[in-house]
Each structure stands twice: as structure tokens, then as C-alpha cells.
Amino acid sequence: MLLRDPLRLVVPAGHRIARWPSVSSSEVGEERWIVGTRPHPCTDITLAVFATASISPTIVESRRGASAKAHSGQGSDRCR
């Protein structure tokens, strides 16, 4: 393995999973998502994780410069 770069999930402080140390794709699969336009590495990887788990996430917004994140109105424009 040359590199290991974990995916990070951004949610508001009051979100039900905000204090969890980790989550699985099935635990967040029903959340609403903001994703970057495709192709984009962060978006492609995030959607591939869901596809592998046979989950179809609800995409509420797709915009250039956004990384995939749970819809919260917060977060960074970089893969985290």
C-alpha cells in the first residue's frame, strides 16, 4: 500500500452521529448528500463506497468545488 487516506464525514454538531468515532456506509446511506460535480476523486470514491454496499444515496446538491459530504450546510471544499 502506497497511501492510506481515510474518508471523513462532515455533519453539524447536533447531528445524531456527530460524536461517533466512525460510521459505516449503511449507517449514513439514508442521509442527504452534497457532492462535487463528476468526475472528481472525492465524489467518485464516495459514490463507489455506496455502490459497493448496494446503497443509492440521496443527492440533494451537486456543485463544482464541493466535496461529498452529508447535507448540513457546513464543511470544507476539500476532500476530508
pLDDT at 79 over 70: no
Looking at residue 65, what is its pLDDT? 67
Model confidence pLDDT, tens digit, residues 5-60:
777 888 888 988 899 999 999 999 999 888 888 888 888 888 999 999 999 999 99
> Can you tell me the distance from the alpha carbon of 72 to that of 78, in angstroms, rounded to the nearest whole number?
15
Share of the chain above pLDDT 70, in %: 79
